[in-house]
Structure 1
Amino acid sequence: MNAPAPPSPAAPRARGSLRLRLLAGTLVWVVLSIAAAGWSLSQLFRDHVGEQFHALLASHLDQLTAGLALDAQGRPQLTTAPADPRLARPYAGLYWQVDRIGGERGALRSRSLWDAVLAVPADALADGEIHRHRVTGPDGATLGLVERSVRIADADGGGESAWRLLVAADEQLLQEPLSRFAGALWLALGILGLGLALAVVVQVGVGLAPLRALRRALARIGSGEARRLEGDYPAEVMPLVDEFNGVLAHNAEVVERARTQAGNLAHALKTPLAVLANAADGRDDELARLVAEQVGNARRQVDYHLARAQAAASRLPGARTPLAPAVDGLVRALRRLHAARGVELAVAPLPAALAFRGDAQDLQEMLGNLLDNACKWAVQRVVLAAERDGRQLVVTIDDDGQGLPPERRQEVLRRGVRADEAVPGSGLGLAIVADLARLYGGEIALAESPLGGLRARLTLPAAD
């Protein structure tokens, strides 16, 4: 049960960002709510101002009605003039007019009309009834108008006459407060919207902070800095953290059990193989040779698959192996092993930060096989160097031996293939290295060495 390697930061996202989803959804709702509130408030204020506008006209109409009388000649006159000073200024935007129904239009009018006369639709008016109209006034201005019909007794008492009373005002008087209110309203709502947007951004950032912390904790596991998720998380996230830590613990247990079972199986097989080898040893017949050959094949198969099983079981998340200590131990052992041949095993300076994202035993298995192979083929010198290339750890091992022709370099990476039967070995070393590297997402490549022999270039995942 192996944990998958963490994805590269450059890998494309399978789904959209949760942060962007929350921000977009909330901000769209805020914008729509503010727009609806602005429109509603504008309409309410427009209705209110409209009612106030017509209430003002009705008030002037009442004053005009109260002050209207007829003189001795039956002509209309005002006993009390309306108090609004705009009615005395030409084209001031507020007007009144008195028409005789069925007779003279503009028989009496405000000074503000100057020489203009208001024209209204010829509708039927009941006594005292008020009608509203929109008409064109002086200078082409649009006016809001209210009208009423009244009957006034003649001065001689011989009868009565019907009169139409008109009061009008420029609708610009209505639009100006609406425009001022709309400007102030949308400015206020805009500031409110910016404040809400900032609050949404902060809220989403604070709300998703535990997930960012969780992502960093997972990255530490992937880079080998930690073996389990650590940290204090909200109650909604802790069950996920506990479950994941439980999976990691179970995974480690399964890995250890797999390693133990692989080792037990190998030892169980080696014992009967040793008995068969001893039984065939010392005999020179065809059966003995066949048994020895098959025992050797079986031993190579056991060694190969044991190494693979242990490697596959070792890919625990959080594994991190510094490179320099592993190389130092191998170099010391191989220098003693090949001291009789006088091979110089040199190591280029290794930065302390270089580390392999994997198991120490697997790293030693790969480097040990490559170094041992290089020492077997070298004439005098073997050089190991390492560097980090992005997220990869690159180890190169050069020797000054006879090298390999290009057509054989891929062949020797296959299981059981040996470059020279005269050189001791099972032909499994490079194959095991190639399999281990592939299990970790790396590779082994062979090329010509600057020293004249063979270069082995091992690429593995680097730990942070």
Structure 2
Amino acid sequence: MSVPAPHFPLAARGSLRIRLLAGTLFWIAASIAVAAWGLSSLFREHVATQFHAELKTHLNQLTAHLAVDGEEQATLSVPLSDPRLSLPYSGLYWQVDALAAEGDAAQARAARAGLLRSRSLWDSVLAVPPDAPADGEIHQHRVAGPGGGWLGMVERVVRIDEGSGTTAGAKPAARAFRLIIAADETLMLEPLSRFNGELSLALGILAAGLVIAALVQVMVGLAPLRSLRAALGRVRKGDAQRLEGRFPAEITPLVDEFNTVLAQNSEVIERARTQAGNLAHALKTPLSVLANAANGKDNELARLVVGQVDAAKRQVDYHLSRAQAAATLRVPGARTPLRPALEALLRTMRRIHAERQLELLLQPIAESLAFRGEEQDLQEMLGNLLDNACKWASRHVEVAARAEGEDLLITIDDDGQGIAAADRNAVLRRGVRADQQVPGSGLGLSIVDDLAQLYGGEPSLADSPLGGLRVVLRLPAVA
């Protein structure tokens, strides 16, 4: 059965922090697991080796003290030294079994299990495998103990010569004995269990420390990226023209390349502005010559030339404004304070419409309000809107501005006759004029609409509390 590949959320797959943490935590967990298995296995092997080495020590001691007395009975010359062998069911046991001797005379002495045994066995006899080891060999087994548990056992076979009861010149007979030492496996498993518990606690603390270290490492390692993001934010908001700050050697080439791109972008924009200006001068000069040549003449050709020259001038102004705005659209670091721009435009409008004695009022505006774009484009939009308001106003024009989220809302009210709701969408189209008696090209509101949309904003028309028209211009603001 195939195992499906693990599924990670899209945010996790796209996060460098989560990738680093996932990889680090995986290797920490794998390393801790391998270390736990390896150390536990090594300690288990060490304890088992020590356990069986101790059994062999007791077996050697039992072998050294085994003897046959004058009555040809097996006995111990000296009791074994470990006190546990005298304590009933202590977990450490020894036993001597008699094996059948070779020859016909020995057939009467059948093998007998438990010929001698330790006091710790009490009235029990160890049930050992039927096959005894060869002389000189030591075998290890697992057998059932008196209490039902498992015992680790070592055994060997020894032969002792019988010194009496032989005829002169005959070789003494040898009796075979099976010597057994056994111990409860809990004597081996208990220290292993304690070690595993302590090992788990130690490795758990180590794992926690490594996880904390990994978190700190990822946070510290990715801190320059947060600094880079903040620097990019300052460029986007217009607070800086290039990435500034101290960055690690691995990120510095990226910062240098990005600053180079910003510089090249500024050069391209400057060239676009210069070319647009040159084009304007190149076109306006012959158009002015044509217009001057046709002025003062009252014939059909002169009127045709004047009309076409006027239309050409309007088209040049419109498309040059649009081209310049498109070239400077969303320039990184572009930032234009709103209040100085409005104050300068209102002073200009007072001079242009001085004969009408209009009252131009600027409501209090926060110093922090700024347009995220080029100053020339802001002046182009506000200049057209203020000029239209002054043309249509009777006495009053009011200007206000406020921030709304990431947008900048500029409101221009006049007390003129306004525009009917059915005609408001039409006046935003290029070349449409609300009143043919009022001088103008019909491009002002259209240019404002195009420029605002290039920046992701829009103008909207509504009824003004002053009785005329209210224009609300929505533009991106600097946070």
TM range (shorter): over 0.9
What residue number does 2:153 align with?
145
| 8 Å CA contact 1:132, 1:144 repeated in 2 | yes
C-alpha displacement of 1:461: 1.4
Q: Aligned to 1:164, what secondary structure does the other structure show?
A: strand
User: Residue type matched to 2:23 in 1?
Assistant: G
1:34 to 32, 35, 40: 32
Task: Measure the CA separation in 1 of the matches of 2:465 and 2:33.
Answer: 73
What residue number does 1:264 align with?
278
Are residue 358 (structure 1) and residue 373 (structure 2) matched? yes
What residue number does 1:7 align with?
none
**RMSD after superposition:** 1.9
C-alpha displacement of 1:280: 2.1
C-alpha displacement of 1:453: 2.8
Q: Aligned to 1:231, what secondary structure does the other structure show?
A: coil
What residue number does 1:114 align with?
122
Task: Measure the CA separation in 2 of the matches of 1:70 and 1:373.
Answer: 133
Task: Measure the CA separation in 1 of the matches of 2:149 and 2:217.
Answer: 52
Q: Aligned to 2:257, what secondary structure does the other structure show?
A: helix
CA deviation vs aligned residue, 1:30-69 (integer Å, no higher than 9, x gap) = 2211211121111111111110011111111111111112
What residue number does 1:129 align with?
137
Task: Measure the CA separation in 1 of the matches of 2:12 and 2:378.
Answer: 33
User: Residue type matched to 1:28 in 2?
Assistant: F
Q: TM-score, normalised by structure 2?
A: 0.90
C-alpha displacement of 1:243: 1.7
Residues 452, 84 of structure 1: alpha-carbon distance in 2 compared, 3 angstrom cutoff: farther
What residue number does 1:324 align with?
339
What residue number does 1:241 align with?
255
User: Residue type matched to 1:236 in 2?
Assistant: E
Q: Aligned to 1:165, what secondary structure does the other structure show?
A: strand
Are residue 63 (structure 1) and residue 71 (structure 2) matched? no
What residue number does 2:428 align with?
413
Task: Measure the CA separation in 2 of the matches of 1:251 and 1:13.
Answer: 32
Task: Measure the CA separation in 2 of the matches of 1:296 and 1:244.
Answer: 45
Task: Report 1:157-196 matches (<5 A).
Answer: 158=166, 159-196=173-210
| 8 Å CA contact 1:89, 1:112 repeated in 2 | yes
Gaps of at least 5 residues in structure 1 are 1-11
Task: Measure the CA separation in 2 of the matches of 1:155 and 1:417.
Answer: 140
C-alpha displacement of 1:378: 2.4
| 8 Å CA contact 2:13, 2:19 repeated in 1 | no
Residues 445, 101 of structure 1: alpha-carbon distance in 2 compared, 3 angstrom cutoff: farther
Which consecutive aligned stretches of 4+ in structure 1 deviate over 6 angstroms post-superposition?
12-15
CA deviation vs aligned residue, 1:266-291 (integer Å, no higher than 9, x gap) = 11101111111122222333322222
What residue number does 2:41 align with?
43
Q: Aligned residues: percent identity?
A: 66
1 or 2 for the larger relative contact order (CA 8 Å, sep ≥6)? 1
User: Residue type matched to 2:115 in 1?
Assistant: A
CA deviation vs aligned residue, 1:176-224 (integer Å, no higher than 9, x gap) = 1111111222222222222222222233333222222222111111110
User: Residue type matched to 1:395 in 2?
Assistant: I
What residue number does 2:451 align with?
436
Task: Measure the CA separation in 2 of the matches of 1:184 and 1:14.
Answer: 36
Q: TM-score, normalised by structure 1?
A: 0.93
CA deviation vs aligned residue, 1:362-392 (integer Å, no higher than 9, x gap) = 1111111112212222233322221112222
Are residue 291 (structure 1) and residue 291 (structure 2) matched? no
Q: Which moved more, 1:155-164 or 1:165-174?
A: 155-164
